[in-house]
Structure 1
């Protein structure tokens, strides 16, 4: 019993990071990976989870030792005013503005889960058709964020992640997959024809720039002593590995469906029903709703932390400036989602900014992790630096590919 209590006590910010990257985008990409390539791209998810654990551990270690967020450290440690200001603007554009646009997708993902069970729910106001479920998901996210209590928010998100994990895992088990084929897909990398963009998408939806900022800021809400680093690492490894297991479960479930008509997880839910019964549809719908609502909460939260650090604001979750940022992002997400607006061109700009930001932030994070003035004896070891440099090269490749994808240059 003590071991169980200890484990639950040390579950925290890592789970919120997992909640952030398992959003509707990840669910959709994993669904398409499974439908189009079977188990063949499971190795890409495995690599992305290992990379995420390593980068998030650095961000969490920085947060607990410095007791500052990543954006605060960047603003204080980069002495060149021109480079610092350009970087701060890029971070604000990519994360604060970008998240406000991606928020519509997060809310819509939660809505898809509800619509799978309850169908479409609209009401008309003049020439406008408003999705009631989008407004409902937005109100739930608003209420949870407005409480402004980290421990409460953590409990809610941990509960939702557990529900989401069980839903997707049960869905995968229901399909009775071939274990040998799964192991082959995990540990024997193959790149099917036309699979490179899906590989990039799988990694890009898991190794997320804003999660580095979110983790560094959240970890100091729960822990504040160097002695807590061991607990932080366990939380990071277990939570993100669980998130990876959820993503793999979606790929595995989708691989059991042979259909060219599936374009998102809602189609997958409908495709599973005739083969495995109505319960498969409900498990998947619950998982998708949980994925949408968790990302709808963490995306505005991350953006508010970034704005706070970049602009040097004081105060916590209940400060008026902090609240104004996440309220703006949430309202914009509700508006775009409920009215069915798709600001494609602006989202493309945000994706390009994120493509540029990931290697840049990974490089700056690696630089900061070697500063004794910031981390003392907890700075990176030679092995951590070697792995970090490998990941930096990897993120540069990923960032360039993401930008070329958005610009339609393959």
Structure 2
């Protein structure tokens, strides 16, 4: 196993900053390791998921639940690889790419992940902006602009310690989960329909159907919104926040084991939230897909008895907007952290932390502001843009999966912690299948 080449640690201000108890019970040790998985999980329930999942349910009822399930299983596999890479090599995925791949390929991958970060931030900024607009009645452009303050909130939180960020994120996740569980229970979904929906159906890959609301487009949108490229970079970095004794193989093994527990527990919560989103669309909005293509339309639909039936009320709309704001804020925190990880890892920049975060945020805000200025209050345009941003994330995903699987399958890099052969084959198979489906999607769209 190689030792780290760069003296610069990933997210150096919090790297190895959280102590882990020695000779403690399973639950005490798990408690110390629980946290990074929550930051990873928020990327799997960000505002980008909302449009694709709810519209998917409203259009095809429970059919695409199987896509949510498969996406979540893929996510668990890939995030375990990413976290393991960070712990074992003491490099994040961006640093590993810079260290082990040719220069031209490194810069190409940097451009792809930067575009993916912009697509991710697009959904987060739009989601937060629209939530503020719906809750407080502020102009949409002002609501989007005010999201730049998120960066400074994050800087303040970082000074309080990484545990405080993990606690905040976990609280916001709990808020989203409780609100959507309540909304779904009110909608009285079909239990048998849900169970049947988790069984994959060949009709999802319909080669004769195209368009933004086709089964394949929404399925790939769900995959792109669920398995997020930037999360692989994020997890490979924040998995290093726990102190590990690198002179002891058993200490490294323990860190990898409990990182896996943390990741899988938190991603199971994300799977439940994504399922609830699609179930809500199926049970409450089925047959009204054209009426809920935008966040504001969903907000209005929840208080329209002609669409939501007897459960419609202003209180439900407010809860929806609160959950949307919580989702946007959560994803903003992790998106900003990933922006720093990618810039420092790929380009080996040594700029002040606040400057890197501010620059990455402004770069991501630029396209949103241009579109908001061009289309003003036409929220449907922004919401439609979110769907296409999630499809782009699906297109970008293989460019993150292939390097990750390659690094974690290389014994020179990973030593005794190299992937098992079946795990590597499965990882490559996922990337290949996604690439083929994405080529089909590109042909359809253009």
Q: Same fold (TM over 0.5)?
A: yes
8 Å CA contact 1:55–1:362 kept in 2: the answer is: yes
Asked if the contact 1:204–1:398 (Cα under 8 Å) also holds between the matched residues in 2, the reply is no
User: Equivalent residue for 2:347?
Assistant: 311
**Are 2:234 and 1:214 equivalent residues in the alignment?**
yes
Per-residue CA distance 1:94-130 (angstroms, 9 max, x = gap): 22354246424312201222333333x13xxxxxxx7
Given that 1:95 and 1:303 are in contact with CA atoms closer than 8 Å, whether structure 2 keeps it comes out as no
1:76 deviation in Å?
A: 1.4
Residue 261 of structure 1: aligned partner: 291
The answer as to 2:362 corresponding to 1:331 is: yes
Report the 3-state secondary structure (helix = DSSP H, G, I; strand = E; otherwise coil) of the residue aligned with 2:257: helix
**Aligned equivalents of 2:333, 2:314: Cα separation in 1:** 29
| 145 and 175 in structure 1: CA distance in 2 versus 1, 3 angstrom threshold | farther
Alpha carbons 1:200, 1:401 under 8 Å: kept: no
In the TM superposition, what is the alpha-carbon distance from 1:394 to its structure 2 partner?
Answer: 2.1
Residue 319 of structure 2 is aligned to residue 283 of structure 1: yes
CA offset digits 1:8-47 (Å, max 9, x no partner): 4432221111112322211111111011111111001111
Of stretches 249-258 and 146-155 in structure 1, the one that deviates more from structure 2 is 146-155
Are the aligned partners of 2:47 and 2:328 in contact in 1 as well (CA < 8 Å)? yes
| 132-141 or 382-391, larger mean C-alpha shift | 132-141
Contact 1:96 1:304 in 2 (8 A): no
- Gapped runs of 5+ residues in structure 1? 79-83, 123-129
Q: Is the 8 A contact 1:167 1:284 kept in 2?
A: yes
Secondary structure in 2 matching 1:205: helix
Paired positions, count: 387
1:72–1:336 CA distance, 2 compared to 1 (3 A): closer
Q: Which residue of 2 aligns with 1:115?
A: 133
> 2:221 aligned to 184, 201, 216, which one?
201
* Contact 2:336–2:360 (8 Å) recurs in 1: yes
> Is residue 99–residue 329 contact of structure 1 (8 Å, CA) maintained in 2?
no
State how far apart, in whole Å, the 1-side matches of 2:395 and 2:128 are.
Answer: 29
2:73 is equivalent to residue 50 of structure 1: yes
Summarize the alignment of residues 10-409 of structure 1 with structure 2, pairs less than 5 Å apart: 10-78=33-101, 84-100=102-118, 102-119=120-137, 121-122=138-139, 131-148=141-158, 149-189=161-201, 191=203, 194-224=214-244, 225-226=251-252, 227-255=254-282, 256-257=284-285, 258-259=287-288, 260-273=290-303, 274=305, 275=309, 276=311, 277-313=313-349, 320=352, 322-334=353-365, 337=368, 340-341=372-373, 357-401=396-440, 403-404=442-443, 408-409=445-446
How big is each residue's C-alpha offset from its partner over 1:285-327, in whole Å with a ceiling of 9 and x where there is no partner?
121111111122222211210111112246xxxx60x432321
- Assess if the C-alpha contact under 8 Å between 1:107 and 1:134 holds in 2: yes
Deviations 1:198-232 (A, max 9, x none): 11111111122111111101110135341211210
Residues 303 and 140 (structure 1 numbering): CA distance in 2 closer, same or farther, change over 3 Å? Answer: closer
Would the alpha carbon gap of residues 104 and 368 (structure 1) be closer, same or farther in structure 2, given more than 3 Å must change? Answer: closer
Secondary structure class of the residue paired with 2:226: coil
In structure 1, how many angstroms separate the alpha carbons of the residues matched to 2:147 and 2:425?
43
Measured in 2, the distance between the counterparts of 1:285 and 1:21 equals 18
Change (3 A) 1:364 1:190: same
CA deviations over 1:231-287 (Å, ceiling 9, x no partner): 101111111121121111111111121323211233223212233133322222121
How far did 1:337 drift? 4.6
**Partner SS state of residue 131, structure 1:** helix
| Cα distance, 1:201–1:293 mapped onto 2, change above 3 Å | same
Check conservation: 1:20, 1:211, Cα contact below 8 A: yes
Contact map agreement 2:216 2:441 (CA 8 A) in 1: no
What is the CA RMSD across the aligned residues, in angstroms?
2.9
Rounded to whole Å, the distance in 1 between the matches of 2:346 and 2:404 is 15
TM-score, reference length from structure 1: 0.85
Q: Equivalents in 1 of 2:90, 2:186: separation in Å?
A: 45
Q: 1:72 to 1:332 in 2, by over 3 A?
A: closer
- Looking at structure 2, the residues matched to 353 and 104 of structure 1 have their Cα atoms a distance apart, in angstroms, of 12
